[in-house]
Amino acid sequence: MSEHPRLQAIPGGLDEQPRPSRQGTSPTAAPRGANSPRPPLRGVPTPPARPTREPLWREALGERLRALRLEQGEKLTETAGRAGLSPQYLSEVERGLKEPSSEMIAALAGALGTSLGNLTRQVAEDLLRHRPAQPSRALISPLAVSPVMLAA
């Protein structure tokens, strides 16, 4: 078997830069936090920024419940106790991780000194305020939504 000749690196090319190990970090690189962005690669276009998505009902409800609780200066355990919920469950609701039943929402509203109707109105207003801008219908081609395009 013959050896393959070693190709010369192009000045400024990738071979002249330190290569990270297979685990994604090099021994000389500074440690990177889990949330720190990676530097953009040269010559690779960066993807466009994602449009902000409309929050889900449970996320908006959780934010509103937490805001009402904090406005009253209450601890999580106090509000949860009056509503008949565990503090862990209320925490998950406030973080938008759980979607409580209507009975639980009514109990939380009562524990926070408001009505189910007022709470629902406030959450709906929050959702309308966070609604992302929608493209104008005039900008959408009629062919883009025709049955012909869907069947293609």
Measured distance between the N- and C-terminal CA atoms of the chain, rounded to whole angstroms? 54
What's the one-letter identity of residue 10? I
Tokens 């709470």 -> residue: 119
Predicted local distance difference test score (pLDDT) of residue 85: 97
What's the one-letter identity of residue 37? P
The two structure tokens encoding residue 67: 């805001």
Predicted local distance difference test score (pLDDT) of residue 54: 85
- Signed CA dihedral, 133, 136, 141, 143: sign only: positive
Dihedral angle computed from the Cα positions of residues 68, 72, 73 and 77, in that order, rounded to the nearest 10 degrees = -70
Predicted local distance difference test score (pLDDT) of residue 52: 73
What distance in Å separates the CA atoms of residue 32 and residue 49, rounded to the nearest whole number? Answer: 22
CATH tag for 57-130 (out of 3.30.470.20, 2.30.31.10, 1.10.260.40, 3.50.50.60):
1.10.260.40
Predicted local distance difference test score (pLDDT) of residue 79: 97
DSSP state of 140: S
Phi–psi pair at 133, nearest 5 degrees:
-65, 135
Predicted local distance difference test score (pLDDT) of residue 127: 92
**Spans of the chain, pLDDT less than 70:** 1-41, 43-51, 132-152
